[in-house]
Amino acid sequence: MSTAEARLEVLTRINRAKEGAQTPERPPYPRAAAQTREEVLHTFQDRIEDYRAGFVRVAPPGLLEAVRTALGGARRVVVPGGLDAVWLPDGLDVRRDEPFLTHAELDGADAVVTGCAVAVATTGTIILDHGPGQGRRVLTLVPDLHVCIIRADQIVPDVLDGVQAVAAAVRAGRPLTWISGGSATSDIELVRVEGVHGPRRLQVIVVDGPAWRGRG
Amino acid sequence: MSGLHPSRPFPEAAREAVGNPQLRANLRKVTNTIREKRLRAVEELPHWEELRQLGAATKDASLANLSDRLLELEASVVARGGRVHWARDAAEARELVAQIAQAHQVTELIKVKSITSDEIELNAALDAHGIHAIETDLAELIVQLSHDTPSHILVPAIHRNRAEIQALFNRELGDPQHLSDEPAVLAGAARRYLRQKFLTTKMAVSGANFAVAETGTVCVVESEGNGRMCVTLPEVLVSIMGIEKVLQTWEDISVFMEVLPRSSTAERMNPYTSFWSGVTPGDGPQEFHLILLDNGRTDVLADEVGRQTLRCIRCSACLNVCPVYERAGGHAYGSVYPGPIGAILTPQLLNMTDKNANTLPGASSLCGACYDACPVRINIPQVLIYLRGEANDQKGVTLESLAMQGMRYAMSEGWRFEGAVKLARLGQGPLVRNGQITALPGLLGGWTQSRDLSAFPPQSFREWWRTRNAEPGAGSEGGQP
Amino acid sequence: MKIDLFITCLNDALFPQTGQATVALLERLGHEVRFNAAQTCCGQMHLNTGYRTDALSLVRKFVDDFRDAEVIVLPSGSCAAMLRELAPDAAHWEGDEALRDEVRALSGRIFELSEFLVKKLGVTDVGAAYPHRVTYHPTCHAMRSLHVGDAPLQLLRNVRGLTLLELPHADECCGFGGTFSVKNPDVSTAMLADKARHILETGAEACTAGDNSCLMHIGGGLHRLRSGARTVHLAEILASTEAKVWA
């Protein structure tokens, strides 16, 4: 068996099969009516709460307290390289993913705190492009609690806005993780169970205010 | 049942399923629940119809230039450090996965739910090589532990209720505590069982929901996080995708991420979606293989009518709205692709040569609910009708085809039809009791299994019309039979 | 208006009273009804069972018989859907583009009875009287192919003495499906069982619809169950008056 031979044959079959197939005209992408920033933020909050994830919206001075509250009893906290240290309250056992933590170390952590690349209001989706402040994919996967800090100006109205916002990252070869609420299953009698393999709890903190100039 | 080949004709398999009250109850509950949820999720988007049209056109555009797209995808994945393999059929794809596993001396691997891997009967083939594949999706785990087969694209254990799963997990997962039948408790048991596997297993196998040619990006859409575990934690990742899954540009992803979750789980968005392009240094598997699978897809592509089947994004909306699926369940279709989409995909992937699979296009009352629900506008009823013709062509002359020909002849002239009706009226004599027929012979016997039939009346419409016009002044008050 | 009636083969042979009621109704509304006795069948059963060549010869016959019609009215949603939606596709599959074009040219003049009354004529009160408790089953083809919407319901709401009872899960198929009902009798029966249960739940004396094929299946089941409920074609209700009851 040769995959080169298979490749040639599959391509030949396709070229034979698609003879006469026309490339159809594509209709324009339908867009929703423009929304105010407040409407967008409100929709995002509604969706996150609908997923039964934690949501809080704070002005920059309230961030530390919000992170503390979101972490609850979690003490061993993992953070990605590039996460702004000012986001983290004192008194935590913080492990920075520099050098890379092992799977076992991650499994022993209570929580992870990250930023995000962009967030989509209509679907309540947080998109990580795993750039600075977001870390490797495994960081937001293994610990049981994910605290995600989102700047209000990172929240866009629709899926297409989100896709466009991370286009450059994808073209640069970066992986993406889309998160819409916590891990969940409906496999048993379609009863939704929150928390299966990924983080069982998601806490979203939206930071909003003119003085805010965080990074992430 | 495994793979694509049904072991018996649909009507026979369905008869058994229809007679199973537990199965019927589970199916009714699940399909009705998700049907209503889906309607709400869809109504929320003001431009649903436009999104469906865009989704269909986006897939069609990719399919119209499929070889270019696949070559582009191959180049992009390779440029980002991945490897691309091509498989003409199931056997080649299975062999490729086994070879990769053997190259890494792997005896156990973890899997994300992938119907494509079920299509090629991967697990059994790996077993034969001494490699154990562990299903990590909760429903697939239930199915695997009970030595069963999936019955639904999205909810593979739809035919099992919580009591059955409770008994299974108490038996198979060896939990010291007796598990209750609470779904949360049962899911927790699966989490404990699988966590160590995720953290220590060296190789994973996944399918792919989409792949972007331009960027070499592969996508897995899921809910539980088992997919993220599988595509992130192991050192080696193999993704098997049907060649029809490729899209052209990154932006093409958007419309499908809008319509897929709402159509499948009836959510605004599924909890987790992973996208990756080749290998990312320091993050995730450092060895990535993408297997491009034909296995009959180019035959489907070659058919002008059947081609639209390849738009399918495996959302399962058509299953959930289908009245036949609701009664017969997934196993009756005898293929990894059940429901209305399976009824058109399975026989086509087998190039209309499998006798049992060719009964699948008949597994529909042609009510059209599937077409209305399909987010990429596959006209399933149209394809079903078309494929019934293709299946008949394979069979040649049968009792049925002769009967149909005879009827067509009788209907070729008005007077001839009138004569045939008169003959039938005479012939029905022995069958009629009190104006009803309660037992019909031969091909029509299925009718009177559960239904009576009113007998041919003494006068047909055309006979009445003639007498009415012959009697002056009869008008519309004329002769009620 | 000069209306050509396409009675359909099933109504002609088994349910002539539906055709008679259709004639009575349309004449009462002041129209001239014509019946071309050369007509037979739209070919739906042949096409849906996978006999395209046979079906297309019947489509060809339909086109020849109705070429000059001003409007063609059918007391059947599924036959109307066959002629408007499927026949052109089937002609194309067989490479008969001339037939495809001809049947397409006719499709704007083909109407199912309720859509003809409500959408074409703009009539929702046909002056009918029918003092019975009735529930309405929207047949799949009328609903999903023809998009007749609530036209039949508008007509029924204006029938004197009629109590219209809402059918639960109305939009679910009854399980007829042409030869599906004999080739897959078990699934068809299971679907029928639910439809019959929903009909009986309403407490209606009769279930009505715009298609005698579905009604033959539903009615056959109701009769076998000795349920006491019966089926009646929409045309027969709409044709009924205080003076004359059609069904």
The string of pLDDT tens digits covering residues B299-357 is 999 999 999 999 999 999 999 999 999 999 999 999 999 999 999 999 999 999 999 99
Q: How far is A149 from chain B (nearest CA, A)?
A: 18
Q: How far is B34 from chain C (nearest CA, A)?
A: 15
Q: Which residue of B has its CA nearest to C247?
A: B480
Looking at the partner chain, which of B382, B411, B479 has a beta carbon nearest the beta carbon of C40? B411
A74-96 mean pLDDT: 89
CA distance B421 to B199: 74
Tell me which of B175-184, B185-194, C110-119, C230-239 is least confident. B175-184
In this predicted structure, the answer to whether residue A198 has a pLDDT above a threshold of 90 is no
Kindly report, residue by residue over B125-139, the tens digit of the pLDDT: 999 999 999 999 988
**Closest to C56 (Cα-Cα) out of C30, C25, C89, C28:** C89
What H or E segment, with its residue span, contains residue C57? helix C52-66
Chain B interface mutation, best of C31, C40, C59, C212, highest count of B Cβ atoms under 10 Å: C40
Kindly report, residue by residue over B241-283, the tens digit of the pLDDT: 999 999 999 999 999 999 999 999 999 999 999 999 999 999 9
CA distance B386 to A53: 48
Mean pLDDT (chain A) is 91
Greater pLDDT, A202 or B476: A202
Kindly report, residue by residue over A44-83, the tens digit of the pLDDT: 999 999 999 999 999 999 999 999 999 999 999 999 988 8
The encoded tokens of residue A109 equal 């952590």
CA distance B155 to C130: 48
Put simply, the answer to whether B269 touches A138 (Cβ < 8 Å) is no
CA distance B380 to B373: 10
CB A78 within 8 A of CB A146: no
pLDDT of residue B1: 45
CB-CB neighbors (< 8 A) of B183 in chain A = 185, 188-189, 191, 193
CB-CB neighbors (< 8 A) of B271 in chain A = 51, 179-184, 198
Local structure of residue A13 (DSSP, 8 states) = H
Distance (Å) of CA B266 to CA B38, B48, B133, B270: 4, 14, 30, 9
CA distance B413 to B450: 33
CA distance A70 to A63: 10
Phi (first) and psi of residue A124, to 5 degrees: 60, 40
CA distance B371 to B309: 12
* B-proximal residues of A, 52-81, CB under 8 Å: none
CB-CB neighbors (< 8 A) of C86 in chain B = 382, 385
Q: How confident is the model at residue B481 (pLDDT cuts 50, 70, 90)?
A: very low
User: How many CB contacts within 8 angstroms connect chain B with chain C?
Assistant: 216
* Exposure letters B41-75 (e unless 16+ CB within 10 A, then b): bbeebeebebbbbbbbbbbbbbbbbbbbbbebbbe
Kindly report, residue by residue over A23-50, the tens digit of the pLDDT: 889 999 999 899 999 999 999 999 999 9
Q: Would you give the end-to-end CA distance of chain C in angstroms? A: 26
CA distance B291 to A1: 14
pLDDT of residue B473: 53
CA distance B412 to C61: 7
CA distance B232 to B369: 39
Kindly report, residue by residue over C70-128, the tens digit of the pLDDT: 999 999 999 999 999 999 999 999 999 999 999 999 999 999 999 999 999 999 999 99
Put simply, the answer to whether A138 touches B60 (Cβ < 8 Å) is no
In this predicted structure, the answer to whether residue B403 has a pLDDT above a threshold of 50 is yes
Looking at the partner chain, which of A3, A123, A199 has a beta carbon nearest the beta carbon of B269? A123
pLDDT of residue A2: 63
Greater pLDDT, B468 or B204: B204
What one-character-per-residue DSSP string does B225-253 give?
SHHHHHHHSSSEEEEEEEGGGEESSGGGH
pLDDT of residue B148: 85
CB C216 within 8 A of CB C241: no
